[in-house]
Structure 1
Amino acid sequence: MLRKDAKAGALMLFAGGKNALAYPETRKVDLVEEQFGVKVADPYRWLEDDVRNSKAVADWVAAQKAVADPYLDSLPGKQALAARMKALFDYERFSLPQKAGGNYFFTKIDGLQNQSPLYVRKGLKGKDRVLIDPNTWSKDGATALDQYEPSPNGKLLAYSIQDGGSDWRSIKVIDVKTGQTLADEVKWAKFTNIAWVGNEGFLYSRFAEPQKGQEFQALNENQTLYFHKIGTPQSEDKPVYATPDRPKLGHSAQVTHDNRWVVITSAQGTDDKYEISLIPLASKKGKLLPLDKWKPQTLIAGLEHDWQLIEGMGDQLWFITNKGAPKLKVVKVDLSGADPVFSDIIAERSEPLARAQIVGSRLVLSYLKDAASLAEMVSLDGKPLQRIQLNSIGTASGFSGKPGDPETFYAFSSFNQPGEIYLFDSTTGKSSVFAQPKLSFDPASISIEQRFYASKDGTKVPMFVVRKKDIDLSKGTPTLLYAYGGFNLPQLPSFSATRMAWIQSGGVFVLANIRGGSEYGKAWHDAGRLLNKQNVFDDFIAAGEYLIKEGITTKDKLAIEGRSNGGLLIGAVVNQRPDLFAAGHAAVGVMDMLRFDRFTAGRYWVDDYGYPNKEADFQNLLGYSPYHNIESGYQYPAMIVSTADTDDRVVPGHSFKYTAALQAADTGPKPKIIRIETRAGHGSGKPTDKLIEEYSEIYGFLAKWTGLELENDAAK
């Protein structure tokens, strides 16, 4: 539904304008349901069916591809963007090393490889050896190494495999010395950690095996925590924690480095409200208890606050929590007595606390200040020690470590700088370079500017404006505006080869830190969710208006993009302000806000969106649902929707239904197309060649409709 205050600016009415593209006709069904006295039509519900199980949906997908694929392939700037992206992806990049038993484990991708091989290095000065190469796992490169965890002695390594972008995982184990994969295999793991218990086995989380044909759509309930003993089949794995009386709870496990405690974190949704349970693993003398003696006990009940384990030593555990501290604090729990005793170690301060780790005998704290990183060290009892010097505006990540070992690693990245890896000594406070990528461009040629603008209600919102320093902004420049706005997830400075290709081509990239994330703590999140969700859309619309007012861009040169919850953002703001944008990309978006909770992980999202079966939430959701608020009679921007047939996070039916409704409405001649990928899922694990192909087409589409002129020679 168009905002009332936007109608005056959206009066680009037309009479039956013909689309430049001939879209396939999508069958409508006469399906109307009444909820809370409101009759809601859902004529494209049949598109929710899994493409693998429905010939009708498969035929629809084929018909859409027959329109979109030739159009995208013919875009004049596609090849130039692809060449530029290929050059930008072609650099060596590392993950943060993990240390175990004197071995260092890290991924390293050699330029244009589709997937990152896992390496092991014996000692800091040792020779790198390939331990796992996922590039050999599938012909299309769409099978990825997801996560890995070495055993404490560094002799074994458990790793999970992601296939075709799905959230389902299988877990295998490799002998580090020989490189031989063991017979151990765990299937149907999902949303899981790998937590070693000594060197004997590991804990993982899984759901029951879904019925055949429902792997990509069935609701995920009754997650159970299992222990897998090395050398045994999965059929002998023992369940150690489950809540069958509360099937919506999900559970993940961590084990303290001294092997004293299993810390189980349970959640029902995405709202960072957790219950914490403990399983004592060892006696106070350090003797490991047999599996039948593992008895869960509740430490924190009620799903009321955020609790994030930092580490444990003996009978003491450290946590980050927002209990009484919306911007988070550090507490210590003493378990030596009959009852746990909680004490504050690091008080809440004005900047939100993003992360805390114990490294050696220090606490390393990471804070956010206006969506950029600060890092410092304090003693274990909270006394300030040292600010960690970072290069510039950017994001510091890592600092994982363990008590007694002062060595850790962190990465620093920004819009113009891929992740540099640093070795850090928490005793001396000194950093040294571990890995530094060699780039095909000069980071100093890129300008990064942080600005603040006012939203509709006067709230000041930060944005980052990124461009080549020699770009003349006086006449308005093709600009790509991106945001997310939800689930307490901050959007921080980071490097993207695909976005850098847009920037190097002469475009401006803007990241708006709209409400709904955690850039300013819990209040920033709360102001952008549930009945406050409209603030997210207002913040984004205000960002576009600001960029136009400041002369950075114009209405006919402004493109917008968002992924997942950000795809919902794009669908909603285009409905509300179709006059403001030249083009939009809604990627893997949540587009039907009345049925999102019926598929796979959708039920978790009620903490941000609300419950469609509750009247107040229903009315709010219906008011901005992208699928339900497309209006004929208004000129919409050029729209490209993207999804994948194996997306089991946000099922592709969302994008299918939204696209069908968009194409059926009278919204002007600019194209409204959908790009449907195969074996790509929600985005993680996507091979490099697919990323280049996808984003050269999508950014080529946005370039065409914003007037970004792309040179044929990407090296110019």
Structure 2
Amino acid sequence: MTSGRQLVRALSCATAFALLAASASLAWSQSLPKAAVRNVDETFFGSTVSDPYRYFENTKDPAVAGWMKAHSDFAHATLKRINGRDALLAQLETYDSAASARVVGATRASGDLWFYQKRRPQDNQLKLYMRHGLDGREVLLVDPDAIEKRTGKPHAINYFTPSPDGRYVAYGLSKQGSESASLYVLDVQTLRLVGKPISRADFGFADWASDSRSFLFVRLQELKPGMAPIEKYQRSAVHRFHLRGARLEPHAVFGMQAAGVRMTPAEIPFSATTHDGHWVIGIAVNGTQRELRVYVAPQADALAGKAKWKPVIETQDEVTGLAYMNDALYLNTHKGAPRFQIKKLDLREPDVAAAPVVVAHSERVITGLAAASDALYVEAREGNVKHLFKLGYASGATLEPVKLPVDGAFALSDSESNASAADPRFPGVVIDLQSWTQARQIYRVAASGEVRNTGLQPAGPYDTPTDIETHEVMVKSYDGAMVPMSIIHRKGIALDGSNPTLLYGYGSYGITEEPFFSTSRLAWMNAGGVYAVANPRGTSVFGEDWYRGGFQATKPNTWKDFIACAEFLIAQGYTRPAKLGILGGSAGGILVGRAMTERPDLFAAVISAAGALDTLRAEFTPNGVPNIPEFGSVKTEAGFKALREMSTYAHVKDGTPYPALLLSGGTNDPRVEVWESTTKTAARVMAASTSGKPVLLRLDYDAGHGIGNTKKQQLEERADWYAFLLWQMGVKGYELKPD
């Protein structure tokens, strides 16, 4: 083993080489097109904001498009020049292909039919399958790889929902990461499509009627000539599709125009038809706001287009989750209960205030609920470990724990397919369960409490590495708040500040980073890497109060907590600034971007993947309006101040030695526009930084926000991330090869 003194000497040499390599890279970049400054000054509530690269928002401008392409080509070429990058990619491919398949979204239908998505080592994209029983013959239903071969463009399945009788499956399909899905209906007996695809069906699922012959779905409005792109997600409506005659109802079933419904143009309507044929539940979602407004109507009236909808839940009731059984809605609410409680609302006489509490507020954070025929299943977090409980439907029933084989994480819904873990027609639940050191497996929980592995997810040789250890720590932040962080690394590392360390965080929408297994982390650890995951304020690891502690005006707590976690890793000897990198994506761009601008001395390298970096301009994009509830609006003084404080772009200062920066994004991103996530901030940091370290703009012209990316795209991006970090940390074997 290398001594500490030898390590320090070797690392000093490596760091010097990395700086030389960075300077050489910068010199090479001199031939790239420069971004001209064209300031646009705006005044908000007495404060003037300068935007030097506002014109970059017109990505169709030939000069802007040329700048983007030149810098992206340069970034890809530079990343490919890093010694060790190809070996990293080979490792990632080996780990990814070690198991015979990856299976997600397992969903049941009548007749013991199972539907799920699967990707084998030879596949580039998840495919949709069906089988009769867990041991039955597998049938391929939808093959995006075959579609790519026909069209030359990568496609992905956005969602799928089988009909209750299992005869049909509705699914969304989009291309090039756009998430702009068309909805298809497949007869699984004949493997023929029913009717033509329905466009503008971006949002998540088909809500089948109990007779399996029609369904409801959300359709975006048509953007007609002259309409602004910002209107894309406004005035959506729930429509009905009939399989007989492949007929689409011309009038909306639920939405702004429906009788009895009060909705704003920005609210998005969803529906849920109950399995017993009694009700249709209409849900109005105000963009990213977690609190729901809910209406109900008799199912027969709603499906006939004659419903007069009745409001039963308002946002002030602070309900964030629902489950239905026996003419009652079970409500997960944080009103008066920051760690949530569950109430039971009788839909025949709905009164939320008077609804009885069936699961009381406690130290556990209730994070989800799902109704099965035998019981209501409840997921709750204690620390960073999820626990499963069940509650019988009889009056006076008490919460019973279900013992799981792994202490880790699961969810009662599947975000990749919008599949629910439970079905009110069947007993028990089906869950994905994993931890930091145990790969995801799919388990079936019986009504008896017995938990069995379904066998749907094949095991792989790297599923349970024994040479990795994890630590759950609490970190004191700048104001005394204690922030949870998970640290994962190979056993036996030296706490001498020598370890390449990657700190990841997100910190928005109340999304908590729970234990998850990733074979790609093994490649990072093979290079001596430590991987850390923070749960700063803005997540909901400790419930609603923790979430609101990193929300709009209090958002600075999110990156200040993250900075405290970085300082902890240094103080405890895991790493030092020259060996520390940070990673965040999407809203996590706020986290890493502001950590970089506030403490540029603390990090060797920063990666922002499709990150929200120009928050002052976000609400003027199609997905900006739905995000106003989370981040605020420049149209109010409080909102402007909060958004300006969040903006990485607005906080870049000339003459500052910024760390190396890799901005990664897809040009078809429907959630964070490419100029918001990459180009404007890239140009600004290139002009401002005095460190001589690279600022790389890695664009993918066949990708969007990352949803639907092919295996090849995912692995190449991850290899680029790791290689970039190791290069900038001066790790031996990751120097930049001569041009």
The match for 1:389 is: 403
The match for 1:111 is: 121
- SS in structure 2 at match of 1:146: strand
Among 579, 598, 605, the alignment partner of 2:627 is: 605
Distance 1:107 1:219 in 2: 29
* Offset of residue 142 of structure 1: 2.4
CA contact (8 A) 1:506 1:708 kept: no
CA contact (8 A) 1:101 1:155 kept: no
* Offset of residue 577 of structure 1: 0.2
CA contact (8 A) 1:201 1:229 kept: yes
The structure-2 alpha-carbon separation of the partners of 1:474 and 1:43, relative to structure 1 and needing over 3 Å to count, comes to closer
* Offset of residue 75 of structure 1: 0.9
The match for 1:88 is: 95
* Offset of residue 214 of structure 1: 8.4
Structure 2 residue 340 is matched with structure 1 residue 297? no
The match for 1:698 is: 721
Amino acid at match of 1:256: T
- SS in structure 1 at match of 2:575: coil
Structure 2 residue 569 is matched with structure 1 residue 551? no
The match for 2:424 is: 403
CA contact (8 A) 2:590 2:612 kept: yes
Distance 2:330 2:298 in 1: 16
The match for 2:283 is: 265
Among 465, 475, 483, the alignment partner of 1:443 is: 465
- Within 5 Å, give how 1:127-526 maps onto structure 2: 127-139=137-149, 142-198=154-210, 199-211=212-224, 219-232=232-245, 236-243=249-256, 246-282=264-300, 291-302=304-315, 304-313=317-326, 315-337=327-349, 342-380=355-393, 381=395, 383-384=397-398, 386-398=400-412, 400-403=421-424, 405-441=426-462, 442-526=464-548
Larger mean CA deviation between 233-242 and 640-649 belongs to: 233-242
The structure-2 alpha-carbon separation of the partners of 1:115 and 1:543, relative to structure 1 and needing over 3 Å to count, comes to same
- SS in structure 2 at match of 1:228: strand
* Offset of residue 540 of structure 1: 0.5
Distance 1:215 1:112 in 2: 42
Distance 2:372 2:448 in 1: 9
Structure 2 residue 56 is matched with structure 1 residue 47? yes
- SS in structure 1 at match of 2:680: helix
The structure-2 alpha-carbon separation of the partners of 1:280 and 1:246, relative to structure 1 and needing over 3 Å to count, comes to same
- SS in structure 2 at match of 1:571: helix
The match for 1:13 is: none
Amino acid at match of 1:512: A
Which string of whole-angstrom CA distances, capped at 9 and with x for unpartnered residues, describes residues 134-182 of structure 1?
2211146621011111111111111111211113211000011121122
Larger mean CA deviation between 579-588 and 139-148 belongs to: 139-148
In structure 2, stretches of 5+ residues that fail to align are 1-22, 258-262, 413-419
* Offset of residue 303 of structure 1: 5.2
Structure 2 residue 682 is matched with structure 1 residue 659? yes
Which string of whole-angstrom CA distances, capped at 9 and with x for unpartnered residues, describes residues 462-517 of structure 1?
11111112433334300000000111111111123333321233201000011101
Distance 1:168 1:295 in 2: 31
Distance 1:104 1:382 in 2: 34
CA contact (8 A) 1:167 1:649 kept: no
CA contact (8 A) 1:415 1:495 kept: yes
CA contact (8 A) 1:530 1:607 kept: no
The match for 1:636 is: 658
Distance 2:408 2:732 in 1: 29
Larger mean CA deviation between 180-189 and 288-297 belongs to: 288-297
Alignment root-mean-square deviation, CA: 2.3
* Offset of residue 645 of structure 1: 0.7
The match for 2:14 is: none
* Offset of residue 38 of structure 1: 1.9
Distance 2:350 2:185 in 1: 39
Larger mean CA deviation between 645-654 and 185-194 belongs to: 185-194
* Offset of residue 234 of structure 1: 6.3
Among 108, 115, 130, the alignment partner of 1:120 is: 130
- SS in structure 1 at match of 2:284: strand
* Offset of residue 115 of structure 1: 1.1
* Offset of residue 114 of structure 1: 1.4
Which string of whole-angstrom CA distances, capped at 9 and with x for unpartnered residues, describes residues 111-148 of structure 1?
24211121111123322221222221114662101111
- Same amino acid, percent of matched pairs: 30
CA contact (8 A) 1:264 1:276 kept: yes
- Within 5 Å, give how 1:53-68 maps onto structure 2: 53-68=60-75
Distance 1:210 1:391 in 2: 50
* Offset of residue 384 of structure 1: 3.6
Distance 1:662 1:179 in 2: 53
The match for 2:16 is: none
* Offset of residue 236 of structure 1: 3.8
CA contact (8 A) 1:417 1:495 kept: yes
- SS in structure 1 at match of 2:253: strand
The match for 1:4 is: none
Amino acid at match of 2:131: R
The match for 1:10 is: none
CA contact (8 A) 2:422 2:428 kept: yes
Which string of whole-angstrom CA distances, capped at 9 and with x for unpartnered residues, describes residues 573-632 of structure 1?
110000000000011111112111110111122222221121232223223411111112
CA contact (8 A) 1:219 1:598 kept: no
Distance 2:706 2:683 in 1: 23
Distance 2:328 2:376 in 1: 14
Distance 2:425 2:231 in 1: 45
- SS in structure 2 at match of 1:79: helix
Distance 2:227 2:732 in 1: 45
CA contact (8 A) 1:217 1:651 kept: no
- SS in structure 2 at match of 1:395: coil
The structure-2 alpha-carbon separation of the partners of 1:246 and 1:436, relative to structure 1 and needing over 3 Å to count, comes to closer
Larger mean CA deviation between 546-555 and 89-98 belongs to: 89-98
The match for 1:625 is: 647
Amino acid at match of 1:675: R
CA contact (8 A) 2:163 2:169 kept: yes
- SS in structure 1 at match of 2:601: coil
CA contact (8 A) 2:344 2:356 kept: yes
CA contact (8 A) 1:649 1:682 kept: yes
Distance 1:382 1:550 in 2: 50
In structure 1, stretches of 5+ residues that fail to align are 1-16, 283-287
Larger mean CA deviation between 61-70 and 542-551 belongs to: 61-70
The structure-2 alpha-carbon separation of the partners of 1:454 and 1:428, relative to structure 1 and needing over 3 Å to count, comes to closer
Distance 1:80 1:126 in 2: 39
Distance 2:378 2:594 in 1: 37
Amino acid at match of 1:333: L
Which string of whole-angstrom CA distances, capped at 9 and with x for unpartnered residues, describes residues 551-572 of structure 1?
0001100000000111121111
Amino acid at match of 2:346: D
Larger mean CA deviation between 177-186 and 643-652 belongs to: 177-186
* Offset of residue 452 of structure 1: 1.1
* Offset of residue 338 of structure 1: 8.2
Structure 2 residue 46 is matched with structure 1 residue 37? yes
Distance 2:340 2:313 in 1: 17
The structure-2 alpha-carbon separation of the partners of 1:218 and 1:675, relative to structure 1 and needing over 3 Å to count, comes to farther
- SS in structure 1 at match of 2:117: strand
Distance 2:670 2:227 in 1: 10
- SS in structure 2 at match of 1:597: helix
CA contact (8 A) 2:220 2:236 kept: yes
Q: TM-score, normalised by structure 2?
A: 0.89
* Offset of residue 710 of structure 1: 5.3
- SS in structure 2 at match of 1:158: strand
Amino acid at match of 2:294: I
